[in-house]
Structure 1
Amino acid sequence: MADMVSLGTQTVNVGDNVAFTTNRIGGNCQNIRHEPGSGRVTLLPGLYRVGFNGNFSAVAAGTLAFEIRQDGDSIPGSKIITTVTAAGYGNGSSTVEVRVNRPCCSTLSVRNIGTVAAIVSDANLVVSRIG
């Protein structure tokens, strides 16, 4: 298992990934690899449960949307959508299962797919190998 967090706040522009600054638990174990400060997590073959949560705000009104991606592609069922007013707040979470097939690895990320830049605080990504 690996638990990656982003302490404080960060601005995540549309099309960019949430960065996770700290590996709270794991993050450099045999099957799950994450470099602190990066928005990418590398998984070796297996079945994983991936959970993301965070608090969101924006300087302009709009739709804030994030999704968990595998190798750059959207994972169905992973999208978080919240509409905020200027300086408004929202939060959300998503949990999905991810399979990584042999012979190699896969990369996970959490991308801002909304209409405005988002201010993200207390972002947390938990990845657990379940099979």
Structure 2
Amino acid sequence: MADMVTPGTQTVNAGDNVLFLLNRIWSNNCPNIRHEATSGRVVLLPGLYRVGFNANFSATAPGEADFEIEQDGEGIPGAKIINTIAAAGDFVNGAVTVEVRVCRPCCATLTVKNIGTVAITVSDANLVVSRIG
């Protein structure tokens, strides 16, 4: 299991990935999950994983905060967060959990991407990846 976080806030521009500054919980018993602190990429070796992402979202103007967990640059069906921000500076919470299979012979890269059209302030971003099979 790996639990990656960014305490505080970060601005994530449209088309960019959420960065995870710290590896808060890291299991040496699961070398199949690889993340370099400060990166937005998580590399998974073959297996079945449960991936959960949650954060608070805000913007400088009303609009939508659209984020998606992607595997190798492609959106994973059912792994999208769409939240409406009613007023500038308001925070909304979003969360999504999805299972991911990585087939042999190699690996896959996970990211959490701002798929919207505006920059979003992301607060307390948290990504949890657990190998389940």
Q: TM-score range by the shorter chain?
A: over 0.9
Counterpart position of 1:71: 72
The reply to whether residue 8 of structure 1 matches residue 8 of structure 2 is yes
Large movers: runs of 4+ above 3 Å: none
CA distance in 1, matches of 2:74, 2:57: 22
Moved more, 19-28 or 30-39: 19-28
TM alignment of 1:88-103, pairs within 5 A: 88-103=90-105
1:27 deviates by 6.9
CA distance in 1, matches of 2:61, 2:115: 15
What SS does the corresponding residue of 2:110 show, helix, strand or coil? strand
CA RMSD of aligned residues (A): 1.1
What SS does the corresponding residue of 1:33 show, helix, strand or coil? strand
Counterpart position of 2:88: 86
Normalised TM-score (structure 1): 0.96
Aligned residues: 131
CA distance in 2, matches of 1:23, 1:33: 10
Normalised TM-score (structure 2): 0.95
Counterpart position of 1:45: 46
1:79 deviates by 0.5
CA distance in 2, matches of 1:118, 1:71: 23
- What percent of counterpart residues are identical? 72
1:71 deviates by 0.2
Structure 2 unaligned regions, length at least 5: none
Q: Is the 8 A contact 1:4 1:27 kept in 2?
A: no
Structure 1 unaligned regions, length at least 5: none
CA distance in 1, matches of 2:81, 2:69: 9
Q: Is the 8 A contact 1:58 1:118 kept in 2?
A: yes
